[in-house]
Chains A and B, each alone.
Chain A
Amino acid sequence: MDGAQGITLAAVGSHFFVGLSRAMILFIVTSGLSFVLGILRVPNIAHGSLYMIGAFCAYTFNKLFGGGTMGFLAALLLAPLVVALVSLIAERALFCRLYEREHLMLLLFTFALMLILDDLVKMIWGADYRSVMAPEFLRGSVNLFGSSFPRYNLFLLVVGPLVAVALWLFTNKTKMGKIARAAAVDREMVGAVGINVSWVFAFAFVLGCYLAGLGGALVAPTISITLGMDHDIVIEAFLIVTIGGLGNMAGAMVGSLIFGITQSFGVLFWPQFAIVFPYLAVVIILIIRPTGLLKSVW
């Protein structure tokens, strides 16, 4: 009584793409976490809360601009910016004083921040479920290998790689990106050559959080926006960062793909135990390669 009779090549194909589109959201959120982990060495548990704030802001902006395509685009542009602003304030007021502390302290601190942000969200938006509608041209589904594939997931398949390319260009081709990478390897040396490391860190932190907000805004039309959505993603994001290699952008991509696709195939091959698959993949990878698949910057 499993779904065995339903497994055809077409089903495998469509599940691959479904998993791929989920991996794109995971990648966008995870790359932000990985960025902050790699450069600032801060295990930011509040990353999920920023993702949640992104989704709630997307709801607000979408409503403010009257929904539809206009509302959607406004939400996509503005919601991550609000998250970036929140993170800038948090960084300048709090984080920048704490970088030298041990990881356990930082962990506790970001955990506290997560609780505070969660309560803030409840105070601002309340406990109701919110929903954002995808714009007209992204609603409904297309036929893919004989099964229906939501248009919005196609859109995610386009956005994900775009973000990945933009991130790669930034870290490898711009001066700021190169400094950030250098600071990740040896922050004292970067300081010694006369670069204001404090602002490099602030920028890196804000960028990482912007990605969390972007992930939240992108996921908004596909789920119910609600308190608690942060907890799920932050656990998954930390797992992905761990299997991909801490602070490694390509690792975040590889980890997200593994996570998204094993989940999707798990549902197809063994639906009753689908939940287990991505975590099983994580366990196996960590047994074989305890430091993650790609090189960790730590």
Chain B
Amino acid sequence: MLTRRSVTTGASLVMVAGLLAIFLGALLFQPGLTYARDIKVGIIDCYSGPPAVYSKDALNGFKLALKEINKKGVLGKKITFTTRDTKFKVDLALSMAKQLVMREDVDVLAGIINSGAGLAVSEAVAKKEKVPLIVWIAKSERITGEKGHRYVFSTGENTAMAGKAGGVALSKRPYIKYWIAGDDYEYGHALAKAAWRNLKKLKPEVKLIGKSWWKPGEPDLIPYITSILAAKPDAVIFCTGGRSMTNIMKAIKATGMAKKVAIYIHTATDHAVLKPLGAEAPEGVMGTMDYHFYYPDTPENRAFVKAFRAAYGNPPGFPAFHGYITAKFIAKAFEKAGSLDKEKFIDAMEGLKISSPVGVIEMRACDHQAVLPMFFGITRKSPEYGFVISSDIVTLKGDEVMPTCEEIMQARKGK
């Protein structure tokens, strides 16, 4: 007997069955979709606060390279990316990285400007979950040095390379009495240590007559400069970055310090530092940088700068260069690996060489650190650009400024 109730029950059963069929049908198509899925890069970086200038530049470089790469595709796929803002916080970086790996199922992690976050993500996500991580701005030498492992790479220069570049360049100059000053946090101290260790090794007669440290971003650096000048060193090594960089350059200009004593600051010749200062940028300051959009003046670099300018309106900074080569490394490594397998990707990355705006760059197999050249120059006003740029540039080759593989292995054992 058909009651009204059984009719409604029957109707709902049909509906449930229908829905189930649709659902299963959708599932049927699912494997096909995942099979053809793109290569996914998860980018964790700080997109708020002062560091955002650098991380956005890096992302733009990365995007520009992807545009070129995706025209052809890699293994018949496209490379896509998704970004997460870490707000310069280590705990946020960690949870974002985990989320990208667990939920978004990314093939590679990249980004990171904050060294603390870089080390944490490298240890707790990359190593633990066996997901490759490519750090592109964070400059702590520990990332690929003593804390390095199979799953972490760096496409940016680090404090060991910068310090060694400074040491090598300064050892060729006549100064004996040095003063070291800088930001009182890891970047400043690591840079100071590396510079002094290498300078002392290459030129044992140098003497360190004093040190001063200020808090990062310290607005008033004039007292530091006056006290340094009073001690009459031959040369000063400033180990500073970020906000303090502009502050120290302004203070150097205001006190006329560069006319009284030789000054070396890693990244003093950086366009991002010099451009906003305009006529206030001091001339005669020695600096090192791993990328300039105006040097080397090669067709490759010109083409990169032109494409970047067309896309984003301003010339690329060093982070853009790092982001750009990171994308190139990722594409070429997957191509070489022949699959999306993460272990194969890592094997392919080791010793991989790519062509870049500044020439061929190798991913060193022993420590997963990109071998980057360093450009040593002196700030001088350029009639061509209307602001101060790096001049008299001397190129220090990558292998000249990098710690040797033995040194790295020793540091890793020592931990």
Interface of A toward B, CB cutoff 8 Å: 1-3, 5-8, 10-11, 14-15, 18-19, 21-22, 122, 127-131, 133-134, 139-141, 147-153, 219, 221-224, 226-229, 232-233, 263-264, 267-268, 271-275
B280 beta carbon closer than 8 Å to chain A: yes
Residue B209 lies at the interface, judged by CB distance under 8 Å to chain A: yes
Q: Which of B89-97, B218-226, B353-361, B378-386 contacts A (4 or more CB under 8 A)?
A: B218-226
Stretch at the interface among B16-24, B127-135, B250-258, B389-397: B250-258
List the B side residues contacting A264 at CB < 8 Å.
223
Give the 10 A-B CB pairs with smallest separation, nearest first.
Answer: A271-B212, A224-B246, A6-B231, A127-B52, A6-B230, A150-B254, A264-B223, A267-B223, A11-B230, A22-B220
Report if A127-B56 is in contact (Cβ < 8 Å); known contacts: A15-B223, A228-B217. Answer: yes
A226 touches B50 (CB 8 A): yes
The answer on a CB contact under 8 Å between A141 and B255 is: yes
Known contacts A133-B278, A222-B254, A263-B223: does B213 contact A274 (CB below 8 Å)? Answer: yes
Interface residues of B in 254-305 (CB under 8 A from A): 254-257, 260, 272, 276-280
Chain B minimum-CB-distance residue to A122: B48
B344 within 8 A of A: no
Q: Is the CB of A222 within 8 A of B243?
A: no
A125 to B223, CA, bound (A): 30
Contact A226 B211 (CB under 8 A): no
Task: Tell me if A3 and B227 are in contact (CB < 8 A).
Answer: yes
**Which B185-226 residues sit within 8 Å CB-CB of chain A?**
208-215, 217-220, 222-224, 226
Bound Cα distance from A191 to B231, whole angstroms: 61
Give CA–CA (A24, B339) in the complex, Å. 64
Q: How far is A19 from B224 in the complex, measured between Cα atoms in Å?
A: 11
B184 at the interface (CB under 8 A from A): yes
Does any Cβ of A come within 8 Å of B176's Cβ?
Answer: no
Q: Quick one: which of B209, B220, B228, B232 contacts A1, CB cutoff 8 A?
A: B209
Cβ of B49 within 8 Å of any chain A Cβ, yes or no, is yes
When the two chains form their complex, are residues A15 and B276 in contact, meaning their CB atoms are under 8 A apart? no
Known: A3-B230, A222-B251, A232-B218. 18 other contacts (CB 8 A): A127-B49, A127-B52, A133-B278, A133-B280, A134-B254, A139-B254, A141-B254, A150-B251, A153-B222, A223-B219, A224-B276, A226-B243, A226-B246, A228-B217, A263-B220, A263-B223, A272-B212, A274-B212
Residues A223 and B223 in contact, CB atoms below 8 Å apart? no
Residues of A within 8 A of B215 (CB): 232, 275
Query: Which residues on the B side are within 8 Å of A1 (C-beta)?
Result: 208-211
23 A-B pairs with C-beta separation under 8 A: A3-B210, A7-B230, A15-B227, A18-B220, A127-B53, A128-B276, A129-B50, A133-B280, A139-B254, A141-B255, A147-B229, A148-B255, A149-B255, A222-B219, A223-B219, A224-B245, A224-B276, A228-B217, A229-B217, A271-B224, A271-B228, A275-B184, A275-B213
Contact B255 A274 (CB under 8 A): no
Asked whether any CB of chain A lies closer than 8 Å to the CB of B115, the reply is no
Q: Which residues of A contact B211 (CB under 8 A)?
A: 1, 271-272
Q: A152–B254 Cα gap in the complex (Å)?
A: 8
Give A1's nearest chain B residue, CB to CB. Answer: B210
In angstroms, how far is the closest chain A Cβ from the Cβ of B316?
A: 15
What is the minimal beta-carbon distance from B87 to any residue of chain A, in angstroms?
11
Return the contact of B49 from the options A131, A228, A233 (Cβ within 8 A). Answer: A228
**Does B243 lie within 8 Å of A229, measured CB to CB?**
yes
Residues of chain B with a CB closer than 8 A to A127's CB: 48-53, 56
Residues in B with CB closer than 8 Å to A6 are 210, 227-228, 230-232
Q: Which residue of B lies closest to A222 (CB)?
A: B250
Q: Are A2 and B276 in contact (CB under 8 A)?
A: no
- Give the docked Cα–Cα distance between A134 and B222 (Å): 15
How many angstroms from the CA of A275 to the CA of B48 in the assembled complex? 27
Q: Output the nearest chain A residue to B184 by Cβ-Cβ distance.
A: A275
Asked whether B158 is an interface residue with its Cβ less than 8 Å from the other chain, the reply is no
CB distance from A63 to the nearest CB of B (A): 11
Nearest residue, chain A, Cβ from B246: A224
B140 close to chain A: CB less than 8 A: no
Interface hub of B48, B230, B256 (most chain A Cβ within 10 A): B230
Complexed CA–CA distance, A233 and B218 (Å): 10
Determine how close the nearest CB of chain A comes to the CB of B411; give it in whole angstroms.
25
Interface string of B30-41 (1 = CB under 8 A from A): 000000000000
Give Cα distance in the complex from A141 to B222, angstroms: 11
The yes or no answer to B181 lying at the interface (CB within 8 A) is yes
Q: Tell me the bound Cα distance from A150 to B220 in angstroms.
A: 12
Least CB distance, B3 to chain A, in whole angstroms: 62
Question: CB-CB < 8 A to A129: which residues of B?
Answer: 50, 53, 243, 246, 272, 276
B276 touches A130 (CB 8 A): yes
Q: How far apart sit A78 and B231, CA to CA, in the bound complex (Å)?
A: 42
> Which of B222, B228, B247, B278 has the most A CB atoms < 10 Å from its CB?
B222
Instruction: Provide the residues of chain B in CB contact with A226, threshold 8 Å.
Output: 50, 243, 246
A130 CA / B243 CA spacing, docked (Å): 10
B50-A18 in contact (CB<8A): no
Task: Give the residues in chain A near B246, CB-CB below 8 Å.
Answer: 129, 131, 223-224, 226
CB distance from A35 to the nearest CB of B (A): 22
- B50→A131 contact, CB < 8 A: no
Instruction: Output the least CB separation between B58 and chain A (Å).
Output: 13
Residue of B nearest to A118 (CB): B49
In contact, A271 and B226 (Cβ under 8 angstroms): no
**Inter-subunit contact A147/B226 (CB<8 Å):** yes
Report the separation of the CA atoms of residues A227 and B47 in the bound assembly, to the nearest whole angstrom.
Answer: 12
The CA-CA distance from A133 to B277 in the complex, in Å, is 8
Q: Contacts A18-B222, A229-B219 given: A148-B247 contact, CB under 8 Å?
A: no
**Complex Cα distance A261/B257, Å?**
22
Cα distance, A94 to B239, chains bound together (Å):
44
Interface string of B344-387 (1 = CB under 8 A from A): 00000000000000000000000000000000000000000000
In the assembled complex, the Cα of A127 lies from the Cα of B276 at a distance in Å of 13
B243 contacts which chain A residues (CB < 8 A)? 129, 223-224, 226, 228-229
Q: Enumerate chain A residues within 8 angstroms of B214, measured Cβ to Cβ.
A: 267, 274-275
CB distance from B222 to the nearest CB of A (A): 5
- For residue B260, which residues in chain A have a CB less than 8 angstroms away from its CB? 148
Interface centre among A7, A147, A263, A271, by most chain B C-beta atoms within 10 angstroms, is A271
Tell me the bound Cα distance from A229 to B220 in angstroms: 12
Q: Which residue of A lies closest to B277 (CB)?
A: A131
Cβ of B45 to closest chain A Cβ, rounded Å: 12
